[in-house]
Structure 1
Amino acid sequence: MPVFPKENPSSPQITTHFDNSNQSVAPSAGENGMIANTPILTPTNVIELSAVGMGVAPESTISPSQALALAKRAAIVDGYRQLGEKMYGIRVNATDTVKDMILQNSVIKTKVNALIRNAEITETIYKDGLCQVSMELKLDGRIWYNVFNRARG
């Protein structure tokens, strides 16, 4: 059974796996605003995404079962959010207020709006009030290619 990784801010918690080594990749950064080695979904390929969602049990639960259920639900929602960010991207709005060359206020808001179907929970670990849920999602180009192109156009 895997254990939680040690906290290291430089190690990412999200991994992406591809099941087709012959698929297209996006151009290098700067061309069309795409990042190098980003997979492009075509009508004929399948992209597999994975995410690890984390959820913490609230302190004010009436039983250990309720704590587990709430932490697991939070972890699943976090996993869906991460998958949505990978599928559609994330919208970031930021506002900074500067007075006399000193930052007075900084507000950053993020928003993910995604349709996710058939995501699979592959592993659930609950330890010390923290729930970690591993999720996978396969995007079949025959189904999702038109959905993504309509969303962009």
Structure 2
Amino acid sequence: QPIISSNPTNAIPNTPILTPNNVIELNAVGMGVAPESTISPSQALALAKRAAIVDGYRQLGEKMYGIRVNAQDTVKDMVLQNSVIKTRVNALIRNAEITETIYKDGLCQVSMELKLDGRIWYRILSGARG
């Protein structure tokens, strides 16, 4: 889902399009769990929250810059032998806000919001589309 389009009529419906003159809001919900090796409930909560924040940033980065996917399948005698999929996101994100944090059953869910001002971000993201 690109957030920048040279032709807004070709944009994905209900996807905000960043122009040099507007501000769009991106939202993400990150999820994280603590590793089993934590030494206290407080540490488990802190690590789960950190994992959820990182997941939220990853999702915001995917929305801003896209995601690079590399996949390789091995087929022998028309039977799938091996399938490997790797994804990569490289993003600069500033001023994302955590709007809600929920802990339930060992899972931390963090709602995040990022406002992109077109006067600043349009030129940066236009150059990153390649």
1:97 matched to which residue of 2? 74
1:134 to 2:111 alignment: yes
The corresponding residue for 1:61 is 38
1:33-85, Cα deviation, whole Å (9 max, x unpaired): x5344332111011101111000122211111100110000000000001111
Q: Which amino acid aligns with 1:27?
A: T
Counterpart residue number, 1:26: 8
Instruction: Output the TM-score relative to the length of structure 2.
Output: 0.89
| Contact kept in structure 2, 1:25 and 1:36, CA below 8 Å | no
Identity rate of aligned residues, in percent?
A: 87
What is the aligned residue count?
A: 125
Q: Could you tell me how far apart the structure 2 residues matched to 1:54 and 1:93 are?
A: 24
In the alignment, what sits opposite 2:92?
115
Counterpart for residue 126 of structure 2: 149
The answer to whether the 8 A contact 1:44-1:141 is kept is yes
Structure with the higher helix share, 1 or 2: 2
What TM-score do you get using the length of structure 1 for normalisation?
Answer: 0.76
Unaligned runs of 5+ in 1: 1-23, 29-33
CA RMSD for the aligned pairs? 1.7
Q: CA deviation at 1:151?
A: 1.7
Code of the residue aligned with 2:65 in structure 1: it is: Y
CA distance in 2, matches of 1:71, 1:25: 41
Q: Which amino acid aligns with 1:143?
A: I
Task: Name stretches of at least 5 consecutive residues in structure 2 with no aligned partner.
Answer: 1-5
- Tell me which residue corresponds to 2:3: none
| More contact order relative to length (CA 8 Å, sep ≥ 6) | 2
Q: CA separation in 1, counterparts of 2:7 and 2:40?
A: 49
The match for 1:76 is 53
